[in-house]
Structure 1
Amino acid sequence: MNKPALWTKDFIGIAVTNFFLFMTFYFLLVTLPVYVLHELNGSEAEAGLATTVFLISAILIRFISGQWVEHFGKKNVLVASLVVFLTASSLYPFTDGLTSLLVLRFFHGIGFGMATTAAGAVVADIIPHSRRGEGMGYYVMSMNLAMAIGPFAGLAIMNRWTIQTGFAVCTAVAFIALLISFVLKKDRPERGEGTNKFKLNLAPAQLVEKTALPIALTGTFFAIVYSAILSFVSVYAEELHIGAASGFFFVVYAVVIVLSRPFTGRWFDRYGANAVVYPSIVLFAAGLLLLSQAGGAGLFFIAAGVIGLGWGTLFPGFQTIAISKARPEKKALATATFLSLFDLGIGFGSFVMGAVAAGLGFKVLYAACAVYVLVGLIVYYFVQKNNTVSEHAS
């Protein structure tokens, strides 16, 4: 029996759109702090606010974006959000102070939060049920590739040219994402034809998808640790005197994900979630332990590969579970719930992990994180004990 097609025009289109969306995000994540410090004469704390404000607006807008998707349709909301995202991307050269930058970052986060929610709902509809784990794995891989290429390109462009050139590149990338979104197949809104007047419902059941909450909170548990990698691995590399090579950490991370994705997604679909999640948690912990023992570039990059195999498989697995449990009309809300709690974990974790690193050092931090992740085996066991997902049976 032939498998239903996965690599359709729409699937490739939404994956590429997602890649450009996240590439802009990671591009600015590494370059804006430098812009705040050197161009706007801000402090390190003010530089951090540029990311915090962005994430706050993205999280807040996701709580109502799911309702917009249900009422107006996935493609309509995706296109509208990418217009907002492109407009914000084009305005960075005109910021002349910290206040204007923070206002712009809040506006930009709105576009990002809406777009990631709508894109997640689009891809959930496109992927055949029998290939849900495989398809979601490839979709999330577009984020992983953006995480490697975005910071690398951002720092390279800024070092060779200027931050203004970087802003122009971000605008061009956001424009390409918008263009691609136009060719996606138009869907029908879940609530009729979307012609009735939209009425925002602030009831908790309409802001959070309860079927996604258990796995979303589990993802948040692990996101706290993942923030220690996102926020501090480059600083740790400086401590190891390999700072020049730190940008390649996420390149190695992404390469391993690309090489493993054809297998891990299919295993998820064939054997179910637990067969993939439990080994991935162990690999994630092993990678963190290796990172804590690194004394030079060799073990540093081996750790990057193991973490890529572990966390790079774990994250799409959790997102697949979150979406699979929701009814068709609630998949956008499930995506919003999962991503919002994940971002909260990243934001909270960055603060906590920074405090731990300041007191104990990075080697102890990453060793402690390995133990923390192993505790996650117990957390996942109890969350999934009576609610095991088996994608091939869905």
Structure 2
Amino acid sequence: METQAAETPTKLFNKNFISITVINFIVYLVYYLLMVIIAVIAQDSLNATLSQAGLASGIYIIGTLLARLIMGKKLEIYGRKAVLRYGALFYLATTVAYLMMPTIAVMYIVRLLNGIAYGTVSTATNAIVTAYIPENKKGEGINYYGLSTSLAAAIGPFIGMILLNLTSFYVIIGFSIALILAITIACFAFPVRNIELTEEHREALMAKGLSSYIEKKALFITFIAFWMGLAYSTVLSFLSSYAKVIHLVDTASFFFVVYALVITATRPLSGRIFDDKGENYVMYPSYFFLAAGLLVLSVTHSSWVLLVAGALVGLGYGTFMSNGQAVCLKTCEPHRIGIALSTYFVGLDLGLGVGPYVFGILRDHISFQQMYLVAAILPVACAIVYALFYKKDDGKPYEIEEDVITSESAE
């Protein structure tokens, strides 16, 4: 295998940046597609109770968290190339396993393993993309890359809800397998830049202790991400049920379409604002737009109001996801990129995983409208905590030294 010196990209939309962004989009698309249907399948096909169905959704997040914690630490040691490729193979195998779930217990095992696979691949893609973004466009680049995640969070549930109404679970899984097979092939063809570790960096990554799994500099934004994920989980997990109550089932599918259109239109602007003005100019609006979207959702009475809520939630959560990631990259060192990003996404995913359980319990005692009112308080609280404790880093985002990275072509 021939190793070549890395070239710092001068254009944002270079071939490798686009390729890894598309791979990431499909990885997340399948995750969100299955997330919105799995509870229904557990109840309808496996006769699971509501709590068992909720566990089937949440146990996936446990697998994801395990993968992020382990791979955040081991990513650079094993090599980004190996983690991406073999993680994709594991993602494919565990997606095929959905075809063989005779009991709810087996479903738990499949969901856990599939979550580990998803967490492994997404941790690799989140680190790999940073090598293909020009140094002076980190905020804009991460926002465009983050658009793949945000669009998947919108299009995945939309496709899942449509297919669930039109076809069978096995057809949906077949569709998912085809998508994962395509990205597995792409991962083996994609040239990956591995970090060339010094002995000092290798020893630090091999060391035991919490600091080898968690990036302390990313803990604050991770804490905020947890609460934002918690708030958004009410949309992801309960919108379908809420839509039935307010008789807007047909419109509910287009909630995610509006979400996707809004973030597609605004993402380039938010990235440029991040680079030119600083993170606070995009972070504060993201908190208040999400709060506004959840508030509007709580008083929804017609189709157009529901779609307005979708636009506001897109401006809020969709903007936060990628810009929170960019905040992580402003402070971490190159060899800690994997750990910092895994720390951030642990918080985000944990919020999405815990949210359905917490708000599901709350829903037993209050109405859907009241539940969304409670959820709307969380982003406001995040804005207050952010204002009180976040110390803005006025320095430049991290810079990757050219002699630290190598470009390894597919064999």
Aligned partners of 1:17, 1:393: CA distance in 2, in Å? 24
Q: Which amino acid aligns with 1:66?
A: G
2:346 paired with 1:340: yes
For residue 96 of structure 1, give the secondary structure of its aligned residue in structure 2: coil
For 2:42, the aligned partner's letter is V
Contact 1:282 / 1:310 at 8 angstroms: preserved in 2?
yes
Once the two structures are overlaid, the 10-residue window that deviates more, 171-180 or 29-38, is: 29-38
Rounded to whole Å, the distance in 1 between the matches of 2:251 and 2:280 is: 35
In structure 2, distance between residues paired with 1:141 and 1:393: 21
Deviations 1:228-257 (A, max 9, x none): 221222222222211222111111111100
Which of 296, 301, 309 in structure 2 is aligned with 1:295? 301
Query: Per the alignment, do residues 175 and 189 of structure 1 end up closer, same or farther by CA in structure 2, a change over 3 Å counting?
Result: same
Which residue is equivalent to 1:388? 393
2:213 matched to which residue of 1?
207
CA contact (8 A) 2:63 2:113 kept: yes
Offset of 1:138 from its aligned partner?
A: 1.5
Moved more, 350-359 or 82-91: 350-359
> Aligned equivalents of 1:390 and 1:200: distance in 2?
29
Q: Which has the higher contact order (CA 8 A, sep 6+)?
A: 2
> Could you tell me how far apart the structure 1 residues matched to 2:392 and 2:161 are?
44
1:392: Cα distance to partner?
A: 7.0
Match of 1:78 among 66, 77, 84: 84
The worse-fitting range, judged by mean Cα deviation, of 281-290 and 293-302 is 281-290
Q: 1:222 aligns with which of 209, 225, 228?
A: 228
**Cα separation, 2, equivalents of 1:330 and 1:218:** 20
SS at match of 2:28: helix
- 1:1-394 alignment runs, 5 A limit: 4-191=10-197, 201-384=207-390, 386-388=391-393
Change (3 A) 1:172 1:391: farther
CA 341–371 in structure 1, closer or farther in 2 if over 3 Å, else same:
closer
Count of matched residue pairs: 389
Deviations 1:113-138 (A, max 9, x none): 11111111111222222211211111
Separation in structure 2 between the aligned mates of residue 370 and residue 162 of structure 1, nearest angstrom: 35
Does structure 2 conserve the Cα–Cα contact (< 8 Å) formed by 1:131 and 1:392? no
* 1:287 match: secondary structure: helix
Mapped partners of 2:162, 2:356: distance in 1: 25
TM-superposed deviation, 1:11: 1.0
**Paired letter, 2:333:** R
1:26 touches 1:146 (CA, 8 Å); kept in 2?
yes
Contact map agreement 1:137 1:265 (CA 8 A) in 2: yes
Q: TM-score, normalised by structure 1?
A: 0.92
- Structure 2 unaligned residues grouped into runs of 5+: 1-8, 400-411
- What's the CA shift string for 1:351-389, capped at 9, x where partnerless? 2222333323222222333333222222111232x3335
Which ranges of structure 1 fall in alignment gaps of 5 or more residues? none
CA distance in 2 between counterparts of 1:319 and 1:189 reads 20
Contact 1:82–1:111 (8 Å) recurs in 2: yes
TM-score, normalised relative to structure 2? 0.88
1:261 shift after superposition? 1.2
Could you report, residue by residue, the CA deviation over 1:12-61 in whole angstroms, capped at 9, with x for unpaired residues? 11111111111111221122223322322322222222222211011012
Q: Which moved more, 1:321-330 or 1:151-160?
A: 151-160
> Which residue identity does 2:256 align to in structure 1?
F
The SS at the match of 1:188 is strand
SS in 2 for 1:187: strand
Distance in 1 (CA, whole Å) between partners of 2:395 and 2:370 is: 37
RMSD in angstroms over aligned alpha carbons?
2.3
Identity %, equivalent residues: 32
After superposition, give the CA deviation of every residue in 1:47-90 in whole Å (9 maximum; x if it has no partner): 22222221101101211102321112212211111110011111
Question: In 2, Cα distance between the equivalents of 1:392 and 1:188?
Answer: 20
What is the CA–CA distance in structure 1 between the aligned matches of 2:41 and 2:136, rounded to whole Å? 46
Contact 1:20/1:176 (CA < 8 Å) preserved in 2? no
